[in-house]
Chain A
Amino acid sequence: MSWARLAAGCLLALIATDAALASGALQQSFLQPMGPVAQEQATHLMRVVGITMIVILPVLVGVPLILWRYRYAKPRGAYAPEWEFSGKLEYALWGVPVLIVIVLASWLWYSTQKLDPYQPLGPDPLQVQAIGLDWKWVFIYPAEGIATVDELVVPVGRPVELTLTTDTVMQSLLIAPLTGQIYAMPGMTTKLNFAATRTGEAEGENTQFNGDGFGRQKFTLRALDPVDYIVWTARGDNGPTLDEATYATLRRRTVLAEARGDLGLEKNAQPIVMTLGQADIFQQIVAKYHGGEAERWGGIGLPQTGATGAGK
């Protein structure tokens, strides 16, 4: 039996190191944090594991010990077949877990409060809106007049407030190296607040299964120096314009590469950067489901399949 325990222990120990040492520039785990939220989440994880070990280690050590010491074939210790209760032991058995849960619960309270995704991380956060589509994300920078598909660019140092909705089924947006996930639902908005503390590229993704293209619904978050960020916002106007027609094409059930094909761009997985045609697109998409103009912006029914064919 002990080999199983050993294997389990080794694997657990490996988890953190392996994830942290993962190769490649694109970071995908909160164990390689790029911002304060993920940093705190990783720390809290280690804290919880550490505290919980107080009740887990005795089992991992005690069970093999008991089996060895009291095995029928060659018993060592005393035999007390009628022993079935001990008041002191009861206090310990109930008391220790209660104390640990009190400690853990206090930390839980603290960290949940602190990492509430609705709380901005500072004054004047960068406002970005995200719309989940079948199998891509549209990001809208209303103040900058830019919209992208599958690329989220943020300046290092400035907090970001991402407002989410979806124009199809429920989705969940996660940018692990920066912050946790939150669901995006049609006709409703949710928020994620985060900030990047260093430059780099992180993978963002949808984690809520939504059909065949789910495995490829990824986007890149690029955290740039504030100066580079300004350069990026300035070059936004040489792509297509995000108007109703473009949006209707994007709303089809396609992954990024197919959507590019449908828009007449080269068919690869490069993000699309667009000029924002209308500042209140996001609000109109949300309103479609609540007495807004349901038939506009690609409607509210089942999105078409892509012209270049996704399907089965």
Chain B
Amino acid sequence: MSGQTSPIFGNLDWSVTPFTDVLQHPGTSTIIGAFAASVLVLGAIAAVALFTRMRWWGPLYRNWLTSPDAKRIGIMYIALALIMLARGIIEGFVMRAHQASALGTLAQREGGLVAPDHFAQLFSTHGTIMIFFVAMPLLIGLINFVLPQQLGARDMAFPVLNQVSLGLTAAGAALVMISLLVGDFGTGGWTMYPPYTGKIFSPGEGVDYWLWAILISGMGSTLTGMNFAVTIFKERAPGMHFMRMPLFCWTSLCVAIMLIYAMPALTVSSAMLALDRYADFHFFTNEAGGNMMNYANIFWMFGHPEVYILILPAFGVFSEISSTFSGKRLYGYTSLVIASMSIAVISFTVWLHHFFTMGQSAAVNIAFGIATMVIGIPTGVKIYDWMATMWRGRVRITTPIVYLTGFFLLFVIGGLSGIILANPSIDYQVHNSTFLVAHFHNVIIPGVLYGMLAGIHYWFPKAFGFRLSETWGRRTAFLFVGGFVFTFMPLYVLGLMGMPRRSPTFQNPDFLPWMYIAAFGGVLMLCALASLIWTFWTSYRHRAALAVPGGDPWNGSTLEWSTPAPVPEWTFPCIPQVTARHEWGERKRAGDPWKAPAEYTDIEMPANTAHGLLIAIATFAFGFAMVWHIWWLAILGVLAIPGLVIFRAMRIIEPRIIPAAEVAEADGRFRQLVASLPAATRADEETERNRGVPDIAEFAG
């Protein structure tokens, strides 16, 4: 980075790429950096070439990027998350490989695969990506896809706003991605605690990349939360009382409420840090009355609810799959609703346990420690409720159930370490150690990742019309479980042995065997990732054999299984009238679930628009310009956003009308198809005989 800011290019010049680094200081660290940048560039080129060759640009633009359909937006969220997941897992592996080679001495320069600064960027991007650009888009995507279908709604309350949210998330993700190629990322971890991340100690663009990625995507998440909440409050089908909503909708409601109230805290803490860095404010500086303790407080006011934002949708998924694949009603619906809501509320009262060691009085620590333990009660109740759901059931060991089992067995260990950490007296010892790292991976991987992958496996046929390969699905699940055990169980041991987190080097040779085990776990995680990609690919190739056009491959009981697979853009030919908690199940009991509606009406769908896409481009340009101090572009970007909004507001936008005849025709074809397909029993569920029309005589529960 040159000393002067150019009026046109800001702080950008040719020295910012990792390719320059590798030429100047060749070594494993810079080679890995340049390799990652090359993968990004080559991947982008390959994608452009593929889209051009297959003539996909038109369909991509018309059917996806400009679509306000929540189902498509959900799928795009998940696609984004999976791309980011690939990067996150690879980074995790590089870190494990580095630490396995990082035994050093106090007198010698740090050795190992990557340089300390590079290692710090790795753990910072890994954390940022996994939380904000994998876990969040996964759950938001899944909710987008599933929620309206389960509620009996056609779409979200605000479809175009939904597009904008996706655009903002994607713009944030793009900023993190481009930091691979242009400049460095911050080194302060995913929490970016000042004063280390202040201008004095972290000059340069690194922290700014994080700030703008977080501010932009955080705004998107806030708007998403609002959208979910209004959808649940106002868009439920007639008869869908709150206590008839599937559990996944309830956890979505919790998520919505938490997004609305928690995300602003992240916005505030990041904006304050940005003011410190860009305008010399003194919120968190060492001098002039700044106080970094405020950052810790505000950040974790967001950060702790965030943990439950991540986990609750997974709990929703587990509620759905434990019931469906046990062929049995969900045990303790009311308990589960109460437990979810209590988790959502209590999660706002525990943030201080992230810094028991900041020097406050014992009384404060006791209060927050106990509040933390209290959250364990509803969480424990949920786990037992799912076990009770499977008890006296007929459990099919499908991929989602493998994930659920992995979740049961591993998550309780994460819960145990959570209870341990909730004790301030023990937290003094293991805070900031790899024990903590093991703990949060132990709740987030078996909780969030397994839950989301199980959900993707469960609802994939609804989106694309064919099932995912069960064989490969189970292999992937086993690899993720094994990968987790080998990677993170050693970190518990290392933490108890006194290894701090984020260490680029260590001096105790006793750590080494555990490091090797963890690195082997990292290899398993890479295999799991490869296996996941292979699952999608091989299922796509065998899509004819796996097709389930009947739309109900698992003999489910909630409304989304009443429609064809893939589900049409209007979802329901006419909005269903709900009479029971398990509406689709009740209709199966009544005998003829696929009865055609009495009459069809015209359907109004929101018209396609490039609004979200344009806003995403403007915010990305703004964020990138702010990072590199390209002021003209930043001003342009920041003016473009209200400009676009006002421009849209001025126009009268007519909805797209789908004539009743077209709906009737499509729906009639679907009902004929269902009548012509053979009904599959649960024993045939994984075979080619499963065409998405279950044997309703077998439905129970």
Q: Which residues of A are in contact with B by a Cβ distance under 8 Å?
A: 1, 4-5, 7-8, 11-12, 14-16, 18-19, 22-24, 26, 28-31, 38, 40-41, 44-45, 48-49, 52-53, 55-56, 58-60, 62-64, 66-67, 70-73, 75, 77-86, 89-90, 93-94, 97-98, 101, 104-105, 107-109, 111-118, 168-170, 172, 174, 176, 179-183, 185-188, 190-191, 203, 205-216, 218, 255-257, 267-269, 289, 294, 300-302, 312
Contacts and interface: CB of A to CB of B under 8 A. Distances in A.
A214 B105 contact: no
15 contacts: A41-B426, A56-B412, A59-B384, A59-B408, A71-B397, A72-B682, A98-B377, A109-B370, A186-B195, A203-B498, A205-B498, A211-B201, A214-B504, A267-B107, A289-B286
A79 B700 CA distance: 10
Contact of B508 (A24, A30, A186, A312): A24
Contacts of B329: 81-84
Contacts of B497: 18-19, 22, 28-29, 31
A97 B373 CA distance: 10
A306 to B, nearest CB: 12
A257 B415 contact: no
Contacts, number: 351
A115 B504 CA distance: 31
Interface string B321-334: 00000111111111
Contact of B433 (A77, A170, A207): A207
B308 to A, nearest CB: 17
A86 to B, nearest CB: 8
Contacts of B110: 212, 215-216
Residue of B116, B355, B358, B425 with highest tally of chain A CB at under 10 A = B425
A11 B493 contact: yes
Nearest to B120: A209
B51 interface: no
B374 A101 contact: yes
B370 A4 contact: no
Given A84-B330, A107-B423, A215-B104, 10 more contacts: A30-B429, A30-B496, A41-B428, A104-B419, A108-B423, A180-B429, A182-B359, A211-B201, A214-B504, A269-B106
Contact of B496 (A5, A29, A211, A218): A29
A71 B327 CA distance: 11
Interface stretch (B8-16, B159-167, B248-256, B481-489): B481-489
A108 B370 contact: yes
B505 interface: yes
Residue of A31, A190, A208 with highest tally of chain B CB at under 10 A = A208
A216 B393 contact: no
Interface in B282-337: 286-287, 292-293, 326-335
Nearest to A99: B377
Contacts of A66: 387, 390-391, 395
A59 B362 contact: no
A236 B397 CA distance: 70
A5 B429 CA distance: 27
Interface stretch (B186-194, B451-459, B564-572, B601-609): B186-194
Interface in B642-670: none
A120 to B, nearest CB: 14
A215 B506 contact: yes
Contacts of A70: 326, 390-395
Given A19-B496, A108-B424, A169-B195, A215 B419 contact: no
B394 A105 contact: no
A85 B107 CA distance: 65
Contact of B377 (A14, A97, A180): A97
Q: 5 nearest interchain CB pairs?
A: A180-B428, A81-B700, A215-B505, A207-B432, A269-B106
A204 B196 CA distance: 21
B239 interface: no
Given A12-B413, A180-B428, A203-B498, A112 B365 contact: yes
Nearest to B481: A4
Nearest to A15: B493
B701 interface: yes
Contact of B402 (A1, A12, A168, A257): A1
B697 to A, nearest CB: 13
B396 interface: yes
Nearest to A56: B412
A90 to B, nearest CB: 6
B408 A63 contact: yes
Contacts of A1: 402, 405-406, 409, 481
Contacts of B683: 72
Contacts of A190: 358-359
B187 A211 contact: yes
Contacts of A93: 332, 335, 380-381, 384-385, 388
A205 to B, nearest CB: 6
A104 B362 contact: no
Nearest to A302: B200
A211 B189 CA distance: 11
B428 A179 contact: yes
B77 to A, nearest CB: 30
Contacts of A77: 392
Given A108-B370, A170-B292, A80 B392 contact: yes
Contacts of B115: 212, 312
A60 B406 CA distance: 11
A151 to B, nearest CB: 12
B370 A83 contact: no
Residue of B387, B393, B426, B481 with highest tally of chain A CB at under 10 A = B426
B422 interface: yes
Nearest to A256: B106
A12 B489 CA distance: 8
Interface in B161-215: 187-189, 193-196, 200-201, 203
B412 A59 contact: yes
Contact of A7 (B292, B422, B489): B489
B292 A108 contact: no
Given A8-B409, A22-B497, A28-B497, A113 B431 contact: no
Contact of B328 (A63, A64, A83, A212): A83
B416 interface: yes
B277 interface: no
A170 B419 contact: no
Contacts of A60: 409, 412
Contact of A59 (B409, B429, B507): B409
B678 interface: no
B423 A294 contact: no
B531 to A, nearest CB: 16
B400 interface: no
B117 interface: yes
Contact of B428 (A55, A62, A108, A181): A181
Contacts of A8: 409-410, 413, 485, 489
B639 to A, nearest CB: 35
A63 B387 CA distance: 7
Contact of B383 (A59, A85, A212, A257): A59
A238 B13 CA distance: 52
Contact of A97 (B380, B410, B428): B380
Residue of B359, B366, B422 with highest tally of chain A CB at under 10 A = B359
B502 interface: yes
A255 B109 CA distance: 10
Residue of A7, A93, A186, A190 with highest tally of chain B CB at under 10 A = A93
A5 B446 CA distance: 13
